[in-house]
């Protein structure tokens, strides 16, 4: 039964890879496409993974063999981790700026959602002029910050993240800093950095990534 559960987990992992591949389209998708992708992931592989987790719980309740119980516990923790990652991806897809929600408001809402169940402390310092940037520009900046946060969480193993913004249309400067392991061989986020750079260029900005003086990484996107 444990073997069967592992096979099922492997099958769901393949489907999860496909779901996350589709979620990568969020970098170029329209708002409606992003919402559709979020619905598809939530109603599809996320629900099926939740069902798999319940099935593993049922198996665990009927087995007393220590080795089998330990294997099921490990498998359950992995399924729980994957479901958590999916939920974050779904929120990424659903987050957006709009006429009624400025960039700083969207950032605050997004950070609040990420804080649930996370050990990472996120510190915000957001300054915004009465005038707003265009919605297209704000949307690109939101995606850049989301990707920087994801990189810090997944690759930097940070305990603290600082987000600051200064917006004076048409100019802007947003910084995302962390106290993690910094740039180097232990990180595998080159694709995310490339995407952020392309987004910055698309809105006439520039992306800079470097080391913090006190350790960790700083990501800065600006248009001066």
Residue 46 pLDDT level (bands cut at 50, 70, 90): confident
The CA angle 125-127-130, to the nearest 5 degrees, is 155
Asked whether residue 18 falls in the same domain as residue 86, the answer is yes
Checking DSSP bridges between strand 171-178 and strand 217-223, what pairing results, if any?
antiparallel
What the block records as the tokens of 70 is 């330990």
- Do 37 and 25 contact (CB within 8 A), yes or no? yes
What the block records as the tokens of 17 is 């890879």
Smallest Cα–Cα separation from 90: which of 145, 43, 124, 137? 43
Residue 129 pLDDT level (bands cut at 50, 70, 90): confident
Which domain does 212 fall in, by range? 103-223
**Percent of the chain surpassing pLDDT 70:** 74
CA–CA distance, 76 with 78 (Å, rounded to integer): 5
Which pTM was predicted? Answer: 0.62
**Percent of the chain surpassing pLDDT 90:** 25
Asked whether residue 33 falls in the same domain as residue 130, the answer is no
Residue 61 pLDDT level (bands cut at 50, 70, 90): confident
Asked whether residue 69 falls in the same domain as residue 136, the answer is no
Number of domains in the chain: 2
pLDDT tens across 99-113, in order? 677 899 888 988 887
Q: Is the peptide bond before 170 cis (omega within 30 degrees of 0)?
A: yes
Asked whether residue 109 falls in the same domain as residue 47, the answer is no
């Amino acid at each position: 039964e444990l073997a069967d559960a592992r096979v099922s987990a492997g099958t769901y992992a393949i489907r999860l890879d496909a779901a996350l591949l589709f979620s990568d389209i969020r970098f170029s998708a329209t708002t409606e496409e992003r919402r559709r992708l979020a619905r598809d992931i939530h109603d599809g592989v996320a629900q099926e993974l939740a069902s798999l987790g319940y099935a593993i719980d049922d198996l665990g309740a009927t087995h007393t063999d220590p080795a089998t119980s330990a294997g099921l516990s490990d498998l359950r923790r992995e399924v729980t981790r994957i479901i958590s990652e999916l939920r974050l991806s779904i929120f990424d897809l659903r987050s957006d700026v709009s006429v009624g929600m400025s960039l700083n408001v969207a950032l605050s809402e997004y950070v609040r959602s990420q804080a649930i169940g996370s050990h990472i402390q996120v510190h915000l310092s957001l300054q915004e002029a009465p005038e707003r940037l265009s919605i297209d520009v704000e949307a690109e900046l939101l995606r850049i910050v989301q990707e920087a946060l994801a990189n810090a969480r997944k690759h930097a193993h940070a305990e603290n993240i600082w987000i600051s913004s200064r917006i004076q249309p048409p100019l802007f400067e947003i910084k995302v800093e962390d106290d993690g392991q910094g740039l180097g061989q232990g990180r595998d986020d080159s694709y995310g950095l490339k995407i952020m750079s392309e987004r910055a260029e698309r809105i006439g900005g520039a992306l800079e990534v470097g080391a913090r003086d006190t350790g960790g990484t700083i990501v800065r996107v600006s248009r001066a």
